[in-house]
Amino acid sequence: MARVVTLDAFIARHEAEWRRLAALARQRRLAPEETTELVARYERVATHAAIARSRYGDRELAARLAQLTAAAAAAVYGARPRRWSALQVFATRTFPAALWHLRWQVALAAVVFLVPALALGAWVATSAEAFQALGTEEFRTAYIEDDFASYYTDRPSTEFFALVTTNNVQVGVLAFALGILAVLPTLAVLAVNGLSVGIAGGLLGAAGDLGTFFALILPHGLLELTAVFIAGAAGIRLGWSWLAPGERRRVDALVCEARRAVVVVIGLFVVFAVAGLIEGYVTGEDWAPTWLQLGLGSAALAGFLGYAGVLGRRAAAAGLTGDLGEERAAQGVRALARVAADE
């Protein structure tokens, strides 16, 4: 009982100061003396947050005060950064950090997709029984000789680009969103899509036409499938956050991963659009020889992996994890430190 009274007294003693800091953080413009006051109150409230957690063990109060200090940091840094600056930070730090944070889950998603694809494709290509089990002879013949290739060539490029980009985004969002259901649905989406690719490859492989399969799949598929793996990885991480939250409360872990997943999904819209451009305007087009199509697809993948690897490693070294808003808060803290040093 004494502990509750002590905590209540602590809150009553400092509540007015916390409200004042919140009011300062909400102001559009600060006078020089208000900036000085903001810095001083920020430092004290940051100490209060540590006391709330270490002395009283009140995580809810500690979280509230941490959010308040982050808002104060953002007020000094500039609560309303220019759109271009915010976009630059997202593209060069936040999104790469989120990708780096997911790298092991991306590897797992790739395995879940590729193992069924390769296994089923090899089986269909080498087993007469498996080959004949995939529909009637007329269906298999039409698919091998016409349907597979015509999927990439029958529609106008702009219409096809819009169609495949929309489909890819839907698959990516589905793989991500289903992760919250204990991870397994995301793994199922990845495996099922892998089986579909394996069937196509197996049918053309059985007909001795793997060249056509790879020529029509790889130019856009290298980047497209990588984006699907990343979306699946975000779903895996999201589901795992509440299955095994560690020392965090389940809701805290889930909210944190959900914010990071939002960053990933936003970034993947651009990646899927680039893959869609390649599929709509390069894959299967007469103007581009096969070697050029494969070269463009490989270059797009290499560029993206280089971007994610170099900038992701750099952002992770700076302490970023891709959580939405953490870069802004970190810049605010650094700005507060500079202001305090100048006082």
For 82-94, the DSSP string reads -HHHHHHHIIIII
Report pTM: 0.73
Note whether 72 and 107 are same-domain residues: no
Note whether 8 and 26 are same-domain residues: yes
Does 271 reside within a domain?
yes
Percent of the chain with pLDDT over 90: 46
Predicted confidence band of residue 49 (pLDDT cuts 50, 70, 90): confident
Note whether 162 and 25 are same-domain residues: no
Q: Provide the angle, in degrees to the nearest 10, between the axes of the packed helices 210-243 and 290-317.
A: 20
Note whether 61 and 160 are same-domain residues: no
Does 109 reside within a domain?
yes
Q: Which of 61, 80, 99 is the last residue of a domain?
A: 80
Predicted confidence band of residue 254 (pLDDT cuts 50, 70, 90): confident
Does 180 reside within a domain?
yes
Q: Which of 80, 106, 124 is the last residue of a domain?
A: 80
Note whether 310 and 226 are same-domain residues: yes
Distance CA 207, CA 143 (A): 11
16-20, 59-63, 179-183, 189-193: lowest mean pLDDT where?
59-63
What pLDDT digit, counting tens, does each position of 203-253 carry? 999 999 999 999 999 999 999 999 999 999 999 999 998 888 887 788 888
Note whether 38 and 143 are same-domain residues: no
Q: What is the mean pLDDT of residues 162-189?
A: 84
- Nearest residue to 231 (alpha-carbon basis) of 199, 292, 190: 190
Does 341 reside within a domain?
no
Domain that holds residue 14: 2-80
Does 62 reside within a domain?
yes
How many residues does the structure list for the chain? Answer: 343
Note whether 50 and 123 are same-domain residues: no
Note whether 26 and 91 are same-domain residues: no
Note whether 111 and 75 are same-domain residues: no
Q: What is the mean pLDDT of residues 174-196?
A: 88
Our count of domains for the chain comes to 2
- Nearest residue to 217 (alpha-carbon basis) of 209, 11, 175, 25: 209
Distance CA 247, CA 257 (A): 14
3-state secondary structure of 284: coil
Note whether 93 and 49 are same-domain residues: no
Q: What is the pLDDT of residue 24?
A: 85
Note whether 132 and 188 are same-domain residues: yes
Does 331 reside within a domain?
no
